[in-house]
Amino acid sequence: MTGNRFFVPEGPFSIDSFAEDIKVTFSSVTDKMFTDVAPLSTAENDQVSFLDNSKYVKDLENTKAGAIILKEEYADKIPNKCIALVSKNPHLSFALLSQKFYPLPEVKNAISEQAYVDPTAKISTGCQIDAGAWIGPNVEIGTGCHIGPNVVIQESVVIGAHCRIGNNASLECCEIGMFTNIHPGVRVGTRGFGFAIDPSGFEDVPQTGRVIIGNRVEIGANSTIDRGMGPDTVIGDGCKIDNLIHIAHNVKLGRGCVMAAMSGIAGSTELGDFVVCGAQAGLSGHLKIGSGVQIAARAGVTKDLEAGSIVGGFPAEPINTWRKRHAMITRLMKKKG
C-alpha cells in the first residue's frame, strides 16, 4: 500500500492465516498469498482492500483487488475472481489486517550511551532508551517501553509497561498506564493556568496535583495536558487525543473519549465515557458533560450537557436546532441579496 522506503509490509499471508484474527468469513477456498493492503482504486491482485462507506460502492466494479473486506450486502457486487471477506465491521477488520502487515516497530533492549538515566531511576527489562533522553531521579519505567530521542522525564514520573514516548516529549508530575502511546512534542504535567486576580497584579496558585493517564491511551503530537491544581487531571482508559489538543488543570476524561485536532477543554470540566469532540471544539471550565455526548467541530460548549446529547454551533445547542437556525439565516440572506 505504501510503496516507499519508510514502511515495508510483513508477509505475504494467506487468507487462512488471518481470517479468524480479523473477524471475517469467506466461501472461496484458495492458497493465494497476499502481500499488502490497499484502497479499492489502487489495489492490485495480490492485495486486500475494503469497503465500509457506501459512497465507494461504484469503485467495486473496476477494482483489481484480490480480496475485499466488506459487509455481506455488498458481497455479490465484487468482480469475478475477487474474494469477498465478509465482516460486520469492515473498517475494524481492515485495521486489524493492516496491523498484521505493518506492526509497530520492535522495541530493542538497549539504552543509548548518549542518554542520561539517574542512578535512582528504575528501568525494567526490555526497554529502549534513545540518544539524548534525560530520565530523572526516582522515575519508574515498566517493561518493554520505548523512550525516544531527547525525551525529558522529570523526577518521580511513573510509566507503565509497553508505553511509547515520542521524541522531544516531556513528562512531569504524572503517572501513565500500560500500552499508552505519547507522540512527539507532547507536554504532560506542566503547571496549570491558575492565578489569583487583584488590582495590584496576578498571584500564581501552586499547581500541586498530578496527571493520571490510563491504559491504551493515545496522545497526538504537540498536545498539552496540565497537571491539577490539587485534584488530579485524569485521562481515562482508551482515550484518543489528536494533535494540537489542550487539556487544562483538573479536567477529567472518562473511558474512550475522542478529541479531534485543535480542540480544548478549560479547567475543572468533567467528561463522561465515550464523549466525542470535533476539531476545534471548545469547552468552558467547570462543566459536566455526560457520557456519549457528541460535540460538532468548532462548537463552543458553555453549559452542562446531558448524556447522549449531540450539539453544534456557538453557543452549542442541539444539533438539529443549530442546523435549522443556520438554514433559516442562509435563506434570509439570499432573499435580502
Alpha-helical segments (H) within 254-318: none
Reported as type and span, the H/E element at residue 293 is none
Contact (CB, 8 A) for 264 and 208: no
What is the Cα–Cα distance from 85 to 54, expressed in whole angstroms? 17
* Grid coordinates belonging to 239: 482515550
Q: Which residue type does 285 have? A: G
**Catalytic amino acids?**
249
Beta strand 146-147 pairing with 128-129: parallel
Phi and psi based region of residue 293 (left: phi greater than 0; alpha: psi -120 to 50; beta: remaining): beta
User: CB-based contacts of 221: which residues, under 8 Å, 6+ apart?
Assistant: 166, 183, 184, 185, 186, 243, 244
Do the beta carbons of residue 63 and residue 45 sit within 8 Å?
Answer: no
C-alpha–C-alpha distance, residues 319 and 216, integer Å: 31
Kindly give the residue spans of alpha helices, DSSP state H, lying in the chain: 15-18, 90-101, 319-336
